[in-house]
């Protein structure tokens, strides 16, 4: 899930929303008053992010004008977002908790935590403590907007197509805003590592190299208007915008990145930045919603790696694979012809078909473990070719709230060999069901939480759930034969992340050293491992959220099972998903409360 949230937009709608009279809150607050405040904070946030409005499928009716706009990427825009966050916290601080229901006390705690964490970045003078660089291999308007226009901007009518063109006109402005901000930030050393800038340049040049008529931002509009039978000269109009404004802006950005490539400080981790230790501490706290030190997280990772390696050894020996280290045996399994799809378009299609079959199979098993089963559709798509060099290996986009756009599970198929067959079920259970798709869909349809929480999230909660889902899939019979090794390898991979992320950012590991460790530990192919490590270098701390979150989920379930004994019902345990994402400390407290209530029944 890889989107900057709530960047400011200085349009008239934002001014109007922020100028609304403040709700007077004092003693005797009711749930209705707090719900109204949550709703106003939600709308204020949306007013500052047209891209979020479209991503949620809300760009119609009173929000229709937002469909022709994009986010403001200037420092003024960021400042507006910070001001909105501070105002929201000030308003929430006046709420009398005593007048609230238990559900709304939980909502209040989670929203305050979420808003407070947003202020870490301005305090340390970075765009984001977890993503401190403006331009890098997975960040910047050049990377996000073509994908946003294709996958988030829906086209059903000529009005939608005109709004697309209006946004297309603004792409050049966004590129220039990124260029200006990156230039300013470079004076403070906020420049991505050299290899990241090389990847960034490669992707920019790939986007720039196609004739304007063949640019994906043009072909997306032409393809979708044609499919809907919407008449208009869309090809020529979009082509002209790309050729006359976007490509010159890209040229200016490429020139800057080439200049910065020769100037960027050495090193790969957060330690290379001014206040790097403080930035990493804040990033780790945000990502894990814990106060564990980097050294503690590193040691947890080493212990988990040792335990999972031993478990994999047993599984691999049972499959007749006993020679070499676990990493070497997994590498050999990765290369076995019976585990590989062809490196061709046909092979990629077959791979995606197998993922869809996995989703269908697990969907049939879900009633054994869940009382609530939402029905939002899920599509599985290949990561766009023009960004695959720097993109993550797999990720998830939630469905539009109004059902106008399905959820999307993306898989990077640059190298088909990165995805041996035995490893794919665990990936599907993580990104699809019962992982991200089920968890986020339940939260979206829940009547127990305000919209403000439905669009937010905590990486440790959601990624921890997704990893727990891989374990739950094993309990439901989701793995056959050697696929169990893929499940354990997935866990080993996330444990190795704890070691690598803390190694990169506090122990001054190099990208090469971290990649060597990943390959030797997990048996993943080197290209895939290197892409992963490159992500950890520029998306600081996030890689630690998976295993730390998984530990919290499993610890909470084990505690509930022990307390409830024969009264434990896994379906009821999973109903906590209806309460939405929350920090791990609040999650474990909430599960304790639910357990205590169940004991009284």
The pLDDT tens digits of the residues spanning 405-420 come to: 899 999 999 999 999 9
Least confident of 219-228, 321-330, 386-395, 552-561: 386-395
What is the pLDDT averaged over residues 145-162? 97
What is d(CA 518, CA 499) in angstroms, rounded to the nearest whole number? 10
Residues 6+ apart with CB under 8 A from 48: 6, 7, 8, 9, 14, 71, 72, 77, 80, 81, 84
What's the Rg (C-alpha) of the chain? 24
pLDDT for res 5 = 35
Q: How far apart are CA 16 and CA 18, in angstroms?
A: 6
DSSP class of 476: T
Q: Which pLDDT score, from 0 to 100, does residue 402 have?
A: 82
Measured over all CA atoms, what is the biggest interatomic distance in the chain, rounded to whole angstroms? 71
Contacts 24+ apart (CB under 8 A), 336-340: 336/420, 338/421, 339/420, 339/421, 339/422, 340/416, 340/417, 340/420, 340/421
Q: Which helix (H) or strand (E) holds 396?
A: strand 394-397
Quick: pLDDT tens for 547-568.
Answer: 999 999 999 999 999 999 999 9
Q: pLDDT at position 23, please?
A: 46
pLDDT tens by residue, 238-269? 999 999 999 999 999 999 999 999 999 999 99
Pair 487, 479: CB distance under 8 Å: yes
For residues 53-61, give the mean pLDDT: 95
Which of the residue ranges 14-18, 31-35, 295-299, 334-338 would you say has the lowest mean pLDDT? Answer: 14-18
Residue 394, helix vs strand vs coil: strand
| Concatenated DSSP letters of 291-339 | ---HHHHHHHHHHHHHHHHHHHHHHHHHTT--SS-HHHHHHHHHH-GGG
Helix (H, G, I), strand (E, B) or coil at 443: helix
User: CB–CB of 327/511 below 8 Å?
Assistant: no
Q: What is the mean pLDDT of the chain?
A: 93
pLDDT value at 155 more than 90: yes
Q: Which residues contact 359 (CB under 8 A, 6 or more apart)?
A: 378, 380, 428, 432, 433
Determine the pLDDT at residue 29: 53
**How does pLDDT run across 419-471, given as a tens digit for each residue?**
999 999 999 999 999 999 999 999 999 888 999 998 888 999 999 999 999 99
- Is 110's pLDDT higher than 50? yes
* Cβ atoms within 10 Å, residue 490: 22
Is residue 9 over pLDDT 60? no
Looking up tokens 């939260």, which residue turns up? 443
Q: Cα torsion for 263, 387, 331, 492, to the nearest 10°?
A: 80
Distance between CA atoms of 126 and 134, rounded to whole angstroms? 9
| DSSP three-state, residue 381 | strand
Structure tokens at 594: 């639910």
What pLDDT was estimated at residue 355? 97
What percentage of the chain reaches a pLDDT higher than 70? 95
pLDDT at residue 262, rounded to an integer: 95
pTM score: 0.91
Is the pLDDT assigned to residue 479 strictly greater than 70?
yes
pLDDT of residue 389: 86
Share of residues in the chain with pLDDT > 90 (%): 89
Q: Is the pLDDT of residue 7 over 60?
A: no
Q: What pLDDT shows up at residue 601?
A: 87
Q: What is the pLDDT of residue 391?
A: 80
């Amino acid at each position: 899930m890889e989107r900057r949230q709530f960047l400011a937009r200085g349009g008239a709608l934002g001014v109007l929303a922020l100028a609304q009279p403040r709700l007077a809150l004092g003693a005797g607050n009711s749930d209705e008053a707090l719900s109204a405040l949550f709703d106003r904070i939600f709308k204020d946030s949306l007013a500052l992010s047209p891209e979020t409005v479209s991503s949620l499928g809300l760009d119609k009716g009173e929000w229709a004008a937002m469909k022709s706009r994009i986010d403001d990427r200037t420092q003024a825009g960021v400042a507006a977002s910070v001001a909105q966050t501070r105002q929201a916290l000030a308003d929430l601080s006046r709420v009398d908790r005593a007048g609230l229901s238990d559900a709304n006390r939980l909502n209040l705690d989670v929203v305050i935590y979420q808003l407070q964490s947003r202020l870490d970045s301005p305090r340390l003078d970075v765009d984001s403590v977890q993503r401190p660089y403006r331009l890098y291999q997975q960040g910047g308007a050049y990377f996000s907007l073509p994908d946003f226009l294709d996958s988030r901007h829906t086209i059903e009518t000529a009005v939608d197509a005109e709004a697309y063109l209006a946004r297309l006109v603004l792409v050049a402005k966004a590129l220039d805003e990124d260029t200006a901000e990156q230039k300013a930030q470079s004076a403070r050393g906020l420049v991505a590592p050299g290899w990241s800038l090389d990847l960034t340049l490669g992707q920019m040049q790939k986007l720039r190299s196609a004739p304007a008529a063949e640019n994906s931002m043009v072909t997306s509009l032409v393809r979708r208007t044609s499919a809907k039978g919407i008449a208009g000269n869309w090809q020529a109009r979009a082509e002209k915008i790309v050729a006359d404004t976007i490509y010159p802006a890209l040229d200016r950005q490429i020139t800057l990145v080439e200049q910065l490539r020769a100037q960027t400080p050495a090193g790969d981790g957060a330690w290379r930045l001014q206040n790097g230790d403080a930035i990493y501490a804040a990033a780790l706290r945000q990502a894990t919603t814990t106060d564990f030190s980097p050294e503690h997280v590193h040691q947890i990772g080493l212990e988990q790696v040792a335990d999972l390696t031993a478990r994999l050894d047993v599984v691999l020996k049972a499959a007749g694979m006993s020679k070499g280290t676990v990493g070497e045996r997994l590498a050999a399994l990765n290369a076995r012809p019976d585990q590989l799809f062809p490196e061709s378009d046909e092979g990629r299609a077959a791979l995606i078909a197998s993922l869809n079959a996995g989703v269908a199979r697990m969907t049939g098993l879900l009633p054994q473990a869940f009382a609530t089963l939402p029905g939002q559709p899920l599509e599985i798509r290949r990561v766009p070719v023009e960004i695959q060099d720097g993109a993550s290996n797999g990720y998830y986009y939630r469905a539009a709230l109004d059902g106008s756009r399905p959820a999307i599970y993306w898989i990077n198929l640059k190298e088909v060999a990165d995805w041996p067959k035995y490893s794919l079920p665990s990936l599907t259970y993580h990104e699809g069901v019962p992982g991200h798709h089920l968890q986020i869909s339940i939260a979206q349809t829940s009547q127990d939480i305000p919209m403000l929480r439905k669009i937010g999230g905590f990486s440790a909660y959601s990624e921890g759930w997704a990893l727990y889902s891989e374990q739950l899939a094993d309990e439901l019979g989701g793995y056959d034969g050697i696929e169990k090794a893929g499940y354990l390898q997935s866990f080993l991979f996330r444990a190795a992340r704890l070691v690598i992320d803390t190694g990169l950012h506090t122990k001054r590991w190099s990208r090469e050293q971290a990649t060597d460790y990943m390959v030797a530990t997990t048996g993943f192919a080197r290209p895939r491992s290197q892409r992963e490590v490159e992500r950890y270098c520029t998306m600081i701390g996030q890689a630690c959220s998976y295993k730390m979150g998984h530990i919290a989920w499993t610890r909470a379930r084990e505690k509930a099972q022990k307390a409830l004994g024969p009264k434990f019902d896994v379906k009821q345990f999973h109903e906590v998903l209806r309460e939405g994402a929350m920090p791990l400390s609040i999650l474990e407290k909430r599960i304790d409360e639910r357990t205590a209530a169940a004991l009284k029944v």
